[in-house]
């Protein structure tokens, strides 16, 4: 990456800005100041205002020298948030971030809880720190309430900390669980009452049925008795046949 001739999105040479070279914080720049570190698992990053790079000397010389390049971050790119996805603590103190839109990619850093854009006493502040409502917008909107510390101070009246949001979420979940449990309990009681009513209704129906009397002529009553007697004989013969078949089959 040629820092001195790097181009921004508008195609203009990145220069000026606190006397240094203005850059967007992207994955390539992160590799430069993290050196050989495992960037994907880096959890604490402080973006320097001076970056030392090795530059090869003319051919024939065996050594290389380090050249310091001024760095002044003006915005954050999506590639940085993707590249350093596990960052918990990020310091951009002394840089040149101007607008809240330049911080938008921080929304993707789901584990970020400590962000510094100026010292706790307001020194070395990025221009964005002067935006009206800066603390509340950054903590609640840009970082979606995940920040616990902003500029070295605990997020308080200017925003809601991640811990407080988690506690509030837990309270809501407990309340919802209790409401559902109460509804289920009431439903069970109602079901039990309905079941008891069904049992009583069935008992009443059976009692009513048992009290039914048929007034038939005597000859029809005798005929029905003979039929029932024949049915009993047929049933007994069938049982006897079944028993003999089982014995013959050795079952």
- Helix or strand or coil: residue 211? coil
Residues 196 and 150 in one domain: no
Answer yes or no: are the C-beta atoms of 145 and 165 closer than 8 Å. yes
The residue ranking higher by pLDDT, 102 or 185, is 102
**pLDDT: which is higher, 117 or 174:** 117
At residue 37, the pLDDT reads 60
The string of pLDDT tens digits covering residues 182-233 is: 777 776 666 666 666 666 776 676 655 555 555 667 777 777 777 777 777 8
Q: Are residues 93 and 196 in the same domain?
A: no
Are 42 and 69 part of one and the same domain?
yes
Quick: pLDDT tens for 43-75: 888 888 877 665 555 555 555 566 777 888 999
59: in domain:
no
In a domain, 218, yes or no: no
List own/partner pairs for 152-155 with CB under 8 A and 24 or more apart.
152/116, 152/119, 152/120, 153/120
Judgement on whether residues 24 and 144 belong to the same structural domain of the protein: yes
Which residue shows structure tokens 């069904």?
198
Q: What pTM did the predictor assign?
A: 0.52
Task: Report which of residues 60 and 149 the model is more confident about.
Answer: 149
Q: Is residue 249 part of a domain?
A: no
Residues 93 and 171 in one domain: no
Q: Which domain holds residue 181?
A: 162-209
Asked if residue 223 is part of any domain, the answer here is no
The values of phi and psi at residue 225, to 5°, are -65, -40
Q: Do the domain assignments include residue 60?
A: no
Q: Name the residue with higher pLDDT: 179 or 194.
A: 179
Domain total of the chain: 2
Q: Which tops the pLDDT comparison, 91 or 61?
A: 91
How far apart are alpha carbons 96 and 80 in whole angstroms? 17
* 101 & 183 share domain: no
- The answer to whether position 76 is within a domain reads yes
Same domain, 129 and 181: no
Note whether residue 242 is domain-resident: no
Q: What is the CATH number of the domain that holds 82?
A: 3.80.10
User: What phi and psi values does residue 117 have, to the nearest 5 degrees?
Assistant: -120, 0
Task: Tell me, yes or no, whether 144 lies in a domain.
Answer: yes
């Amino acid at each position: 990456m040629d820092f001195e001739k790097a181009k921004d999105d508008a195609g203009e040479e990145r220069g000026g800005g606190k006397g240094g070279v203005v850059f967007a914080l992207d994955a390539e720049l992160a590799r430069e100041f993290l050196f050989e570190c495992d960037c994907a698992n880096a959890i604490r990053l402080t973006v320097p205002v001076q970056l030392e790079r090795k530059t090869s000397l003319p051919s024939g010389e065996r050594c290389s020298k380090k050249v310091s390049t001024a760095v002044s971050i003006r915005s954050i790119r999506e590639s940085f948030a993707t590249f350093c996805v596990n960052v918990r603590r990020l310091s951009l103190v002394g840089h040149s971030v101007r607008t809240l839109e330049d911080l938008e990619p921080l929304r993707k850093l789901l584990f970020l809880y400590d962000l510094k854009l100026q010292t706790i006493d307001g020194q070395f502040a990025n221009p964005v720190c002067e935006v009206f409502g800066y603390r509340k917008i950054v903590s609640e909107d840009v970082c979606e309430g995940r920040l616990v510390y902003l500029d070295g101070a605990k997020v308080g009246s200017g925003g809601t900390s991640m811990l407080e949001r988690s506690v509030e979420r837990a309270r809501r979940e407990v309340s919802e669980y209790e409401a559902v449990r109460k509804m289920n309990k009431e439903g069970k009681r109602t079901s039990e009452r309905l079941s008891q009513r069904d049992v009583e209704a069935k008992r009443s129906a059976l009692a009513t049925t048992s009290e039914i009397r048929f007034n038939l002529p005597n000859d029809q009553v005798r005929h029905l008795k003979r039929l029932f007697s024949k049915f009993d004989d047929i049933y007994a013969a069938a049982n006897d046949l079944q028993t003999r078949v089982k014995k013959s089959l050795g079952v």
